[in-house]
Structure 1
Amino acid sequence: MPKLRLDQAPPATLPLRFLLAMPCWGVAGAALLLVDGDVALLTRWHPATLALVHVWTLGILGNAMFGSLLQFLPAAAGAQLHGWQGASALHALFNLGVLLLVAGLHAQARWPLLAAGIVLPASFLWLGAMTIPGLVAAAGERLLRAGIGLALAFGMLAALAGGGLALLLARRIAWPLAAVDAHAGLGVLGWMVLLLATVARVVMPMFQGTASVPPRAQASWLAVVAMGLFAAVVAHLRYPADRTLPLAVAGGGASFALGALWLQQRVPRARHSALFLHWRAGLLALALAALSLAAGQGMVAGALALGVGLPLLVGGMTLEIVPFVDWIALRRRVPRGVQLPGVQRLLPDASRRRALLAHGAAAPLLVAAVLWPMPWLARLAALGQLAAWSVHGYALASALLAGRAFLRRVGQPA
């Protein structure tokens, strides 16, 4: 297990910009579903559906993963960030790109799509330029660095493919359906699941008390999933009717989810923290999503994976990362000899559990609205999402407010 290098952690504002944007996009997604409840959950091809999916994948999950990576790489992997001083511009560029894409997809508007087709791939390439040189140059933790590097490569490929699709749509050229599927597979399995599985080998033993995955098993899984995904994408582009790609994505997602659930089974009940429960619920949803995808139920799989499972996994981690980042910032600002509040005091477990309960209440409403597509049920699901992301955002903000209150008590400027 890697040793945390707190002195190498970046300034708190660098990851926090992205992590605090995540619940804001969650609220925006709920508003979209509230407005478009008549049509948003009927088919994957409706403009409202495309807009909502990209709020989930880029606005919520993208911001969480960008911010988490920028904190995790220096502190846990020992990888220096190149040009991190420009992270505020990266945050602005990325979120502008998401806004342009969502608006362009929703309105089928040419100029927002043209701009998004350039801005979003540029954001991912910028993230790669900021992180990959440090990953290559760092010493030790080769398996961790290799997994993150693979995920970043797939993320950049998915972004380039998505940018090309946005440019085609802007020019009113019909999408090649196989290319859309390839873009989705690269993004969901190659970027999101691969990155989560790589980081899970560190965070599950560290924060959830699970056993560690043997290096050989982790390396074999990474190799099989990465090569299998690449081969499946190539095959799908050549033979669009082939079922290899959805089965590869389902198999990769299911193997991660079931493996992680098996590791959690050995953790004593006394250690079932809010993060543990977030991950258990998220992993169960991801396993069900993989089963639905293998069965050909793409809409149900999308709701379970993108609307429930993956947000629970990354959302649970943000509830750990934000107070930890704030604690590091306090450690740097407070004079020696002053006792710092613990991370759990900045954001108590009860607040994290409230966020989990809110997401847990919203999740079945969203799945039900896909299974039984009725406008009133879709809007009820939207209200559930609105409540869940509001509670989540309040929890993150309360951790930062607790840190500022402590600074005022010890006579430091907040």
Structure 2
Amino acid sequence: MVQSQGRALPTAGGPVAAPPFALPAVHFAAALFWLLVSAGLLVWLAPRLAMGRVFDPPVFALVHALMLGVVGSAIFGTLQQFVPGGLGVPLRSVRLGFASFALLQFGVTILVLGFLGWRGWAQGLGWLAILGAVGGVSRNVLRARRHSVNGKLVGLYITVAHSALGFGMIVAFARIGETLGWWQVDRMALVSAHALLGAVGFGLLSVIGVGSRMLPTFLMGPGDDTRWLHWQLGLTVLALLVYTAGAVLTAGWLMQSGAWLLMAAAVPTLMLPWRWFARRRRPLDGALWQVASSMLALAAATAVGLWLLLGDPYRFSRWAALLVALVAGCLAVLVVGVMAKILPHLSYINLARHMPGFAALGSPNALLRDDWQCISAVCLGAGWSLLVVALLAEHAAGARAAAALWALGTGLVVVNTARMYVVGRRPARIAPQGMVTN
């Protein structure tokens, strides 16, 4: 029985009850909180990254705050709104959605603190809580693959992405066991497999799958990309399986084969957003500029990955540049842009009756200041790109300055979002140019 108190959404198979606004809203709020935490950690740790110290415990804390706190919270919140509304498949339980959210936030907090203090027991406890959260979200959304009328490919992407996250967590437990002295494994190989399963397997596959429905809608362009999506999914899954098998078996040739397969998978991965933006029928606003910046970061990550394959794989400053381009530049900035499209509309639909400022605006598109969003897009885009350059050049001071610019962009995103609710709580009038005045 579906426990939902939201409005009914029209779908091809009939109306499906949407989850209450609070469910995606708390996920997005958590993502913004972890974005601020990650920005602070990035400014602190940028000089270490420039020196190639990617195995420092605080660096692990930064990566997991970004991947699980920012990207994980946003993806889980989006999925539990998108599956009923976009795929026409109701959630099993709203209560389970909130319980999964609580477990995720507890787990990420304990995990990040465990990395900062290098406490194996805290890392293990954090992963157990996150495992429970992933299980709860999976139960809520994974049946979309079987029951969706017109979104089976997207449902397959979601299923594979969650499976990659599960495999990544198994690899993480193996690494924690090595830290506690329970067994001996190749630490570097497992850490790299864990990172790829999380960033590419979970993060990238989730955003490509859901984005194949959302981004063409945002851009008002066609979304006939089934062939490219099949190639992208098949090559990426094969690459991750081969690379992970090589890491577990300590077989360098398998790991290198998997890495080259990832380079092959990058062709359809980059082709998909190029097609979406090239065929758009609307100009780009601030949020879509952020999405475009994230796609450029994906291209930069591919270039750095190719450089690592052709050059010295033990040049850890290049690994740091790869992580920054893929996680901070692509996934985190993409999350920011997509939230800027989703959150104002959900807020307006659910809160306009109770918040006079929202009702006076007349449109959800006026809730966020687009000029602030454009400035944040410039700061985020310049921040990640300059940081990648500084890391490749191993320039510590330049890396910190670039990280500070990226942090400025994140701060502006959070302030712009918070301002939306401040405006909504009091009566407003619309100036002739469409600006909100109070």
The TM-score with structure 2 as length reference comes to 0.83
Answer yes or no: is 1:18 the counterpart of 2:30: no
Q: Quickly say closer, same or farther: Cα 1:95–1:255, change in 2 above 3 A.
A: same
One of 271, 283, 289 as aligned partner of 1:277: 289
Given that 1:362 and 1:381 are in contact with CA atoms closer than 8 Å, whether structure 2 keeps it comes out as yes
Residue equivalent to 1:410: none
| Runs of at least 5 residues in structure 2 that lack an aligned partner in the other structure | 1-9, 309-317, 429-438
The answer to whether the aligner puts 1:248 opposite 2:261 as a matched pair is: yes
Instruction: Give the Å deviation of 1:358.
Output: 2.5
Give the C-alpha shift of residue 174 in structure 1: 5.3
Equivalent position to 2:40, from 8, 13, 31:
31
Aligned partners of 1:49, 1:376: CA distance in 2, in Å? 17
Name the counterpart of 2:212.
Answer: 201
Partner residue in 1 for 2:312? none
Q: Which residue of 2 aligns with 1:289?
A: 301
How big is the shift at 1:15?
A: 0.9
Letter in 1 for 2:233: L
SS in 1 for 2:391: helix
In the other structure, the counterpart of 2:319 is 298
Assess if the C-alpha contact under 8 Å between 2:375 and 2:409 holds in 1: no
**For residue 9 of structure 1, what is the aligned residue in structure 2?**
18
Are 1:189 and 1:249, in contact at CA under 8 Å, matched by a contact in 2?
A: no
| Distance in 1 of aligned mates of 2:392 and 2:425 | 45
Distance in 2 (alpha carbons) for counterparts of 1:345 and 1:6? 28
Q: How does 1:25-104 map to 2 (within 5 A)?
A: 25-41=34-50, 42-104=52-114
Deviation at 1:22, TM superposition (A): 1.8
Deviations 1:194-251 (A, max 9, x none): 1111122212221013332343442343233323432343244335322122233343
Check 1:253–1:116 CA distance in 2 against 1; reply closer, same or farther (3 A cut).
farther
Q: CA deviation at 1:340?
A: 7.4
CA contact (8 A) 1:257 1:286 kept: yes
293-302 vs 67-76, which deviates more? 293-302
What is the distance in 2 between the residues matched to 1:92 and 1:258? 37
Say if 1:17 and 1:164 are closer, same or farther in 2 by CA, change over 3 A. Answer: farther
Deviations 1:111-170 (A, max 9, x none): 312212322222212211222235433433222222222222222222333244334424
Q: Which runs of 5+ in 1 are unaligned?
A: 408-414
**Larger CA deviation: 167-176 vs 279-288:** 167-176
SS in 2 for 1:295: helix
How far apart are 1:308 and its partner, in Å? 0.9
Give the Å deviation of 1:326: 0.5
**2:164 touches 2:201 (CA, 8 Å); kept in 1?**
yes
The residue that corresponds to 2:5 in the other structure is: none
Q: Could you tell me which of 263, 276, 281 is aligned with 2:276?
A: 263
Distance 1:170 1:114, change over 3 A: farther
Question: Shift in Å at residue 34 of structure 1?
Answer: 3.6
AA partner of residue 314 (structure 1): V
Cα distance in 1 for residues equivalent to 2:74 and 2:353: 24
Change (3 A) 1:26 1:226: same
2:306 is aligned with what amino acid?
Answer: A
Partners in 2 of 1:170 and 1:80 — Cα distance?
A: 42
Bigger mean CA offset, 131-140 vs 89-98 = 131-140
Residues 250 and 294 of structure 1 are in contact (CA less than 8 Å); yes or no, is this contact kept in structure 2?
yes
Farther-moved stretch of structure 1 (194-203 vs 176-185): 176-185
Distance in 1, matches of 2:353 and 2:269, equals 37
Q: Is the 8 A contact 1:113 1:170 kept in 2?
A: no
Rounded to whole Å, the distance in 2 between the matches of 1:100 and 1:168 is: 19
TM-superposition CA deviations, 1:280-314 (whole Å, max 9, x none): 21111101101211221422211111121222212
TM-score scaled by length of structure 1: 0.87
Q: Deviations over 1:317-341 (max 9, x none)?
A: 011111121122136769xxx8872
Aligned to 1:129: 139
- Superposed CA RMSD: 2.9
Deviation at 1:98, TM superposition (A): 1.4
Task: Supply the AA of the counterpart residue of 1:283.
Answer: M
Question: Which of these residues, 236, 252, 255, is aligned with residue 225 of structure 1?
Answer: 236
- Name the CA distance, whole Å, in 2 between partners of 1:314 and 1:273: 15
Query: For 2:82, what is the secondary structure of its paired residue?
Result: helix
Verify the 8 A CA contact 1:15 1:67 in the aligned structure 2: yes
- Larger deviation, residues 28-37 vs 101-110: 28-37
Equivalent positions of 1:358-377 (< 5 A) are 358-377=379-398
Matched, 1:184 2:195: yes
Q: Measure, in 1, the Cα distance between the counterparts of 2:375 and 2:251.
A: 44
Check 1:36–1:212 CA distance in 2 against 1; reply closer, same or farther (3 A cut): closer
CA distance in 2, matches of 1:266, 1:275: 18
- 1:261, CA displacement in angstroms? 1.6
Q: Residue 39 of structure 1: SS of its match in structure 2?
A: helix
Q: Is 1:404 aligned with 2:425?
A: yes
Q: Using the alignment, how far apart are the partners of 1:29 and 1:339 within structure 2?
A: 35
Q: Deviations over 1:64-90 (max 9, x none)?
A: 111111111111111211222133332
- Please list the CA deviations of residues 331-364 of structure 1 after superposition, one character each: whole Å capped at 9, or x if unmatched: 6769xxx887212022243332232123123223
Identity percentage of aligned residues: 22
Contact 1:40–1:52, Cα closer than 8 Å, also in 2? no
Find the aligned partners of 1:190 and 1:258 in 2 and give their Cα distance: 18
* TM-superposed deviation, 1:18: 1.4
Kindly provide the amino acid, as one letter, of the partner of residue 138 in structure 2: G
